[in-house]
Amino acid sequence: MAVIENAKVTVVGAGAVGSATAYALMIRGAAREVVLYDIDDARATAEALDLAHGAMFTGASEVVGTSDVGRAAGSHVIVVTAGAAQRPGQTRLELVETNARIMASLIPSLVEASPRAIVIIVTNPCDVLATLAVEQTGADPARMFASGCVLDTSRLRLALARRAGVDPRSVHAHIVGEHGDSEFPLWSSARIGPIPVTEWDDSFTPDELDAIATEVRTAAYSVIEGKGATNYAIGLSSTRIVEAVLATSGRSCPSRRDSRAPSVSTESPSRCRRSSGPRARCRSTGSASRRPSTSCSRARRRRSPRRPRRCGRGCRGDSFVRACP
């Protein structure tokens, strides 16, 4: 899968999660254009303007706020965060009735505006809403899926890393199942570096692992109780999924798709694009070839000063000798 350049990403919902997702997309340079869509035009415009004021420090990303769903046209990825927020003590599944009605009126218009986009459902309960959206629109389940347990996996790795005293990036463990109270960790494959978690030291007892699983499963409740919403980490995890879809990273994400979807990968490692440069022609034959991309290691090695020489077709050394086929 080729890297999508100049990608356009639409974030639906300018609330805490949507704004954090747009911010993460901007600072990570995941998209060339970010559209922040919300039915509250003033809120969407203000959030986008606030983000755009920092463009000098982040790169070339353009951020636009709008209440016009037509601005989503041409999006490569749509991230849906709109919906009722989870209140303290409320489970994700208790939001399903309210947010299902919102999805029923929202998803068809988004698909109509940008029929080729990959749609990522972040609104809770994301797994249920993704299934309902697929049934409602008839979309390919491989192109409309939930954010799943990407955030929960990050929480698990942080909990293990803190107890082991290592960097979270050195922990390899996953949460699977529903993004909610029925999720669970895959302890049999959990590693710290190359070492199984249960063999790291004596502190990782069965009781301790159960405590970690409970801590991860209820982490959102603790955050919501203290500040009213979770937003920063879900914004970052949503951006990681977007990067995987756009193939700007070589990472896999434990996101959730409908069980009827074919077994497909949503990402592949970025490749050296040797044939992406401008065309040049051999002076003797007129045949065209491509100059290698300057991002390629081969191109960097070949940027040494030119010296007169002949190619196999008789061209004299000049500015076109590197482009001879």
Give the residue numbers marked as catalytic.
Answer: 179
8-12 vs 77-80, strand pairing mode: parallel
Three-class SS of 183-206: CEECHHHCEECCEEHHHCCCCCCH
Distance set, CA 234 to CA 28, 154, 181, 238, 255 (Å):
14, 10, 17, 6, 12
Q: What is the DSSP letter of 33?
A: E
Q: Which among 229, 261, 250 has a CA at the least distance from the CA of 134?
A: 261
Distance CA 128, CA 96 (A): 8
Assigned token pair, 21: 């997702």
Distance CA 157, CA 38 (A): 33
Contact between 255 and 239 (Cβ < 8 Å) = no
Which residues touch 32 (CB under 8 Å, ≥6 apart)?
Answer: 5, 6, 7, 8, 60, 61, 62
Q: Which among 54, 53, 22 has a CA at the least distance from the CA of 38?
A: 22
Q: Which among 264, 260, 92, 255 has a CA at the least distance from the CA of 174?
A: 255
Contact between 242 and 256 (Cβ < 8 Å) = no
3-state secondary structure of 120: strand
Assigned token pair, 306: 């030119």
Site of tokens 């940008």: 114
3-state secondary structure of 273: coil
